[in-house]
Amino acid sequence: NNGVELYHSNSLKLGTYSGGLNLTGKLNVTGDIDIPDDSQLLIGDSDDLKIYHQSSNNTSYVQNTTDNDLSIINLGTNIYIKSADGEKRANFIKDGSVELYYDGTKMLQTQSWGTHVFGSLVANGDVKVNQTSGRLRIGVNDEFTIRHNATNLIAENTVGNLHIRPKTGEEGIKLIPDG
């Protein structure tokens, strides 16, 4: 059996073969494209990009199968990633920030000056301030700072006393300004 071929201006545009369809040119769709569970949208000559949903673990994937980075480039406005119930997961704001969410609550946002963490930050490794001008700043108005100036460790408290306690409720060292 021969396949079926569809031509436009003597140019082959669509043809059937034993494995499915071959399309030459662009596909313009005005409705949905429905790809069933456990099937993949394969993009690239070597199926370099895969987009699919696995029904066994109810998880959706965007996978780059090459050794190259996966880049999502948006020339329009923003990109939003949401769960099935519409809950935010990630927002990629054009010419702006990236926002990550947990259970619909923003937990991390990039800024022009760095990264803003909403909530606690837990590190299972080192937390480094790599520059001698960098400081660990604590308090609403940075009332307490710790820094190293390449020679000395400097801890500064600009409001009240500085207490170093070996355990809760027990004074170890109390530093009193002008005292």
How many beta carbons lie within 10 A of that of residue 122, not counting itself?
5
pTM of the model: 0.59
Residues 50-63: tens digit of each pLDDT:
888 888 888 788 88
The percentage of the chain sitting over the pLDDT mark of 70, rounded to a whole number, equals 96
pLDDT score at 134: 84
Residues 26-43: tens digit of each pLDDT:
988 899 989 999 999 988
For the record, the structure tokens of 36 come out as 């069933």
pLDDT score at 128: 82
AA letter at 50: K
Q: Is the separation of the CB atoms in 120 and 105 below 8 Å?
A: no
Residues 96-108: tens digit of each pLDDT:
889 999 988 999 9
For the record, the structure tokens of 121 come out as 């930050």
CA–CA distance, 136 with 146 (Å, rounded to integer): 5
Residues in the chain, how many? 179
Residues 148-171: tens digit of each pLDDT:
888 888 999 999 888 899 999 898
Average pLDDT of 120-130? Answer: 86
